[in-house]
Chains A and B, each alone.
Chain A
Amino acid sequence: MSSTFDQVATIIAETCDIPRDTITPESHAIDDLGIDSLDFLDIAFAIDKAFGIKLPLEKWTQEVNDGKATTEQYFVLKNLSARIDELVAAKGAGA
Chain B
Amino acid sequence: MQLEYFHLIDRIVDLNVGDKKIVVEAQVPKQSTIFEGHFPGYPLMPGVLLIESMAQASGWLLLGLLKFERMPILAAVKDAKVRGSVFPGELITIEASLVHEGSGYALTEAKIRVGGKLRANSTLTFTLIPFPNSDMRGYMNSVAERVGFPHQAIAHD
Residues of B with C-beta under 8 A to A57: 102-105
How many chain A residues touch B (CB < 8 A): the figure is 14
B76 with A41: CB separation less than 8 A: yes
A48 with B102: CB separation less than 8 A: yes
Q: Does A54 have its Cβ within 8 Å of any Cβ on chain B?
A: yes
**A-B residue pair count with CB separations less than 8 angstroms:** 34
B76 with A45: CB separation less than 8 A: no
Interface SS of B by simple majority: strand
Residues of B with C-beta under 8 A to A56: 103
CA gap between A44 and B125 in the complex, in Å: 12
Residues of A with C-beta under 8 A to B125: 41-42, 45
Q: Which residues of A33-92 have CB atoms within 8 Å of chain B's CB atoms?
A: 38, 41-42, 44-45, 48-49, 54-59, 61
**Contact residues of B with A, CB < 8 Å?**
75-76, 100, 102-105, 107, 125, 127
**Contact residues of A with B, CB < 8 Å?**
38, 41-42, 44-45, 48-49, 54-59, 61
